[in-house]
Chains A and B, each alone.
Chain A
Amino acid sequence: MRIRPQILYCSILLISLATGVASAQNAGASSGYPVAQGKLTEPEHRGKGLYRRYCVGCHGVRGDGNGENAPYLDPKPRDFTQATFKCRSTASGSLPLDSDLYATITRGIHASGMPSWNPLPSRDRSDLIAYIKTFSPRFHEEQPGPALPIPAEPPASAESTQRGAAVFQDMNCWSCHGKDGRGNGPSAHTLTDSRGYPITPYDLTTGSRFKCGESDRDLFRDLMTGLDGTPMPSFTDALKPDQLWDVVHYIRSLQTNHGQDGEAAMVGSKTETGK
């Protein structure tokens, strides 16, 4: 009789202890993904709901790019578990800044299945970014590098274009993009992305539909940072800013319809607000 309350007390304590442990464990795994660590923050949690609604069909429940539509897409949806991104303002090998991911999601990626998510409220886009970052532990372990600076663009001129052509030659851009920039260089047919899928070097004469933005500054940034996960290398150590601008001017000279294509010009001026 006298032991009873003690047993009761003990079992209540044990039960509460056990449930406490269990709920702590559940909190750790509450995302349902092995890679996501700890409890989701409020934005990550909101992002998860949005991700499940808008992105999962292509990028997959685990963020590994294996959504149910992936088999029909070329290029393949990004595998977020690798944390390797094409469109960055940071050095090759560095994580992107949130603002880079925000710009990509807003813009969409030309010549791929990745749509523009501009119609979503900006908070939703931010929360989506918070969530896709939980797929890779790298976002916990590393800081994204600083944005590489983009100096003011010098005026385009015939001389600048000519110098750019020489750099295009010296940097072996032609080995992939071809002597005349049509994407048919001698190495072009051997290229794959880092997941092993064949990839085509951009045809520089087509004029627009660049993956990471249409403006001169966007092109300058592509050349500086490279498109990670693809054969397109970073030229930031190899070339001085003036030389990079010369190459941008040369690329523009290859685009037979640049400046005439109303749509491209419009998109270009819209994304050039960073100037």
Chain B
Amino acid sequence: MKKNNLPLVVTVVLLVCSASVVAARTGSAPNNPSNASAVVTGVVKFEGTVPKPTHIDMSQDPKCAKLHPAGVRYADIVADGNGGLENVVVFVASGLGDRTFDPPTEPAVIEQKGCLYEPHVVAMRANQELEVVNNDVTTHNIHPQPANNREWNKSQPPGLQIEETFAREEISIPVKCNMHPWMRSYIAVFKHPYFAVTGKNGSFDLKGLPPGTYTLKAWHETLGTATQTITIGAAESKQVEFVFKARPSM
């Protein structure tokens, strides 16, 4: 009996497997999220006292210091009067199944300007081109330190443009300029298009999510990660709020 059934079992298993693979392929969401339906909008809030920005001493490189006659201040936690928290990456962490998405053709851009990174947090897609621009009159080195991607470190004098890519999802890759120890930024790399970085008032939107149940996460460089689950129907709009509390040490 068993002997006769074995080829049958194998065939059935193979058929089911290949059918489900095909189903996953054809079931892909459209690659352009803007013409799909649901929208998740929301805000990320910070609760507690916003720490005072600290002074950055750029005097070791006069070409940097000269750009900031009034001095520069920096804080990892940037929040407005309503507690809207800036520089938080909000993204779909799970729920998209096996869908695959082609990377966009336009590059993501990170600039070095005033011996600081602009923006401070970049979110981009795996295999999307990253354009690194130096708008300063001094030389920088751009040095991402990934855990899950290729590590590279390149000198970038004024005017030189660098193009690079990251192949794998990683949230987030710390980026340093080792010449100017105050320079730091983060690059979040996604294999899907459902992510956003909060702006000045802590707001974000995720457009074009196919109907479904998703784990949403919010990542901040020092406050960590917050998680919630949402279910969204076709053409539905949802409001979401994330709250980060001040670290106990402060």
Q: Is the CB of B153 within 8 A of A238?
A: no
Shortest A51–chain B CB gap in Å is 24
Interface pair B179/A234, CB less than 8 Å apart: no
B143 touches A187 (CB 8 A): no
Q: Are B180 and A175 interface neighbours, CB within 8 A?
A: yes
Q: Report chain B residues within 8 Å CB of A138.
A: 150
Q: What's the Cα separation between A265 and B139 when bound, in Å?
A: 33
In the assembled complex, the Cα of A117 lies from the Cα of B164 at a distance in Å of: 36
A186 CB–B CB distance under 8 Å: yes
- Chain A interface residues (CB < 8 Å from chain B): 9-10, 13-14, 17, 82, 84, 91-94, 138, 142, 170-172, 175-176, 186-187, 190-191, 194, 226, 228-235, 237-239
Report the stretch among B43-51, B96-104, B154-162, B235-243 that lies at the interface.
B154-162
With A10-B2, A93-B164, A172-B138 already in contact, the answer to whether A226 and B179 are too (CB < 8 A) is: no
User: Cβ of A194 and Cβ of B151 under 8 Å apart?
Assistant: yes
Contact of A234 with B154 in the complex, beta carbons under 8 Å:
yes
* B residues adjacent to A (C-beta < 8 A): 1-3, 6, 60-61, 138-141, 143, 145, 150-157, 160, 162, 164, 176, 178-181
Complex Cα distance, B152 from A149, in Å, reads 19
* Other A-B pairs beyond A228-B151, A231-B178, A237-B162, 12, CB < 8 Å: A92-B153, A93-B152, A138-B150, A170-B157, A171-B139, A172-B61, A172-B139, A172-B140, A187-B179, A231-B153, A237-B160, A238-B157
Q: Which of A10, A172, A233, A234 contacts B3 (CB 8 A)?
A: A10
Residue in contact with B181 in the complex, picked from A93, A187, A230, CB distance below 8 Å? A187
Pull 5 A–B residue pairs with CB atoms less than 8 Å apart, ordered by A: A93-B152, A172-B140, A194-B145, A232-B153, A233-B141
Contact B180–A187 (Cβ < 8 Å): yes
- Alpha-carbon distance A260/B173, docked complex (angstroms): 46
Taking the closest CB of chain A, its distance from the CB of B215, in whole angstroms, is 26
Number of A-B contacts (CB under 8 A): 87
Contact in complex: B181, A190 (CB < 8 Å): yes
Alpha-carbon gap, A13 to B6, bound state (A): 11
Which of A175, A229, A232 meets B61, CB within 8 Å? A175
Q: Are A228 and B179 in contact (CB under 8 A)?
A: no
A91 and B157 CA atoms in complex are apart in Å by 18
Which of B1, B3, B154, B180 counts the most chain A CB atoms within 10 A? B154
A226 to B153, CA, bound (A): 7
Alpha-carbon gap, A234 to B160, bound state (A): 13
CB distance from B114 to the nearest CB of A (A): 16
Known: A175-B179, A231-B178. A92 touches B60 (CB 8 A): no
A172 to B134, CA, bound (A): 14
Contact B155 A233 (CB under 8 A): yes
Among A84, A142, A231, max chain B CB count under 10 A is at A231
Known contacts A10-B3, A172-B138, A172-B179; A238/B156 CB under 8 A? yes
Closest residue to A238 on the B side, CB-wise?
A: B155
How far in angstroms is the closest Cβ of chain B from A219? 16
Q: Tell me the bound Cα distance from A264 to B3 in angstroms.
A: 73
Question: Which residues of B have CB within 8 Å of A84?
Answer: 151
Instruction: Tell me which residues across on chain B come within 8 A of A226, comparing CB atoms.
Output: 153-155
